[in-house]
Amino acid sequence: MLYMLRKILLTFCVSAMLILCSCTEEHVKYTASFVDVFDSTVTVVGYADNQEAFDKAVTTLKGRMTYLDNLYDIYNNYDSLINIKTVNDNAGKVAVAVPQELFDLIKQSIEWYDYSHEAVNIAIGPVLRIWHDFRESGEGLPEMSELEEAKKLCNIKDIILDEKNLTVFLAKEGMSLDVGAVAKGYATGLAVSEVSDDVQLLVSAGGNVAPSGLPSFRDNWNVGIQDPDAENPLEDTNLFLLKTTSECVVTSGDYQRYYTVNGVRYCHIIDPKTLFPSNYFRAVTIIGPDSGLCDLLSTTAFILPYEEGLELINKAGYNAVWVLPDGTTKMTDGIQDLIVE
C-alpha cells in the first residue's frame, strides 16, 4: 500500500496473518490459496454451505483479482487489455481509453492526493523506477541530482482525465504512473465485494486483509498484526490480535522489500518530498471499512510524522497501529476495543 515496485513472490507470508477459531461439525471452515496475484500469495478462509460453493467463490475471487492485477500492472503488456503500462507507454503522445476500473482508480488516487498531504502521488513513477533498479542491484544509492531530474516528471496535475470518454493522458513524455500505494487494497476490496452473500470469507493478499460477510454464528474475525522483527513470519509471531467484523486491515512496512547499504535499511516506500525511503516506522496498520482507503492511509501514515498521520486517520474515522524502529507501538484510541485479550 504502497507504491508498487513489484514484490518478491511470497509463498505464505502476509503482513497480517489470518487467525480463525476451530470450527464445529455444524460450521465447516474451508481454506484455499492462490499465488502470483499482486506478487503475493492470496489466502482465503471462510464458511459456505458446501465445498462446491466455497470453491466457486474462490474461483470468482481469483479471476477478478487476476484481471485487476493485470490492469494495474506497470511492467507487462497483455493481449487485448489496456492497462497502466499502456498509459505509461503513450506518455506525451496520445490519450488512452481505459477500462472503467482503471479510470476510477486513477481518478480516486488524484482526489486522494491532497487528502494524503501529498504523501501519495501516483505520478511518482520515474522516481520509483530509479529506486527499484538500485534495490534490484542491491548496490549503492541514487544521486540526488538524478532523483531531482526525475521529479520534474512527477506533477500529478499533468495527468489529464476525460470522464466522458474514459481517457487518460500523461502530458509529458517520460511520465509514468505507479498505483502501488492503493492498487492492491482497492482491488482486494472490489473483488471481495463481488463475492456471493451465501459465502463468508476472510481474504488476505500480502498485507491486505478484507472480509466478505460474517457468519451468523461468529461475533468477529480475528486478524493478527505481524511482528516486523519476526525471524520466521510463517509462525505465529503476532504483536497482538484484532477483532474485526466488516473492517479491513491493511499494513505497510519496511520488512519485506528493502535493501541495505552501509548498514542502513532502505525500504520501498518513498517519500515524495525527500525522494528517499521513509524511515519513521517499521510498520503501520490501518483498520477501517474501505480497503482502498486503508491502503492509501497505511502508506500515508508510514511516510508522515506520527502526529500528522494521527490527525489524518482520526479525521477519516479509522484506526491505526504504528510500530516504531525500537519495537514500541503507538495506536489510535479505538484500538483498545479491538484487541483480543
Q: What is the C-alpha to C-alpha distance for residues 210 and 222, in angstroms, rounded to an integer?
A: 12
DSSP calls for 174-237 = T-----TTTHHHHHHHHHHHTS-TTSEEEEEESSEEEEE---TT-S-EEEEEE-TT-S-TTS--
User: What one-character DSSP code corresponds to residue 166?
Assistant: T
Give me the pLDDT at residue 207, please.
Answer: 84
244, 41 contact by CB (below 8 A) = no
- CA 307/CA 301 separation, integer angstroms: 9
Percentage of the chain surpassing pLDDT 70? 90
Q: How far is CA 92 from the centre of its chain?
A: 28
How far, in Å, are 187, 204, 292 from residue 32 at the CA level?
19, 11, 23
Task: For residue 253, list its beta bridge partners.
Answer: 283
Predicted model pTM: 0.89
For residue 105, the model assigns a pLDDT of 97
Spatial contact of 99 and 82, defined as CB atoms under 8 Å apart: yes
Contact in structure between 332 and 313 (CB atoms under 8 Å): yes
Residue 245 and residue 221: Cα distance in Å, rounded? 6
Amino acid at site 284: V
| Ordered per-residue pLDDT tens for the chain, 341 residues | 333 333 333 323 333 445 444 444 456 899 999 998 998 999 999 999 999 999 999 999 999 999 999 999 999 999 999 999 999 999 999 999 999 999 999 999 999 999 999 999 999 999 999 999 999 999 899 999 999 999 999 999 999 999 999 999 999 999 999 999 999 999 999 999 999 999 999 999 988 999 999 998 999 999 998 888 876 655 557 888 999 999 999 999 987 788 899 999 999 999 999 999 999 999 999 999 999 999 999 999 999 999 999 999 999 999 999 999 999 999 999 999 999 98
Classify 68 as helix, strand or coil: helix
**Each residue's pLDDT tens digit, 286-340:** 999 999 999 999 999 999 999 999 999 999 999 999 999 999 999 999 999 999 9
Maximum CA extent, the chain: 64
pLDDT of 12: 31
Neighbours of 50 (CB within 10 A): 10
Tell me how far apart the alpha carbons of residues 148 and 164 are, in angstroms, rounded to a whole number: 35
pLDDT of residue 256: 75
The strand pair at 329-331 and 283-288 is best described as: unpaired
Residue carrying the nine cell digits 482507503 = 293
- Picking from 279, 201, 274, the residue whose alpha carbon sits closest to that of residue 42 is 201
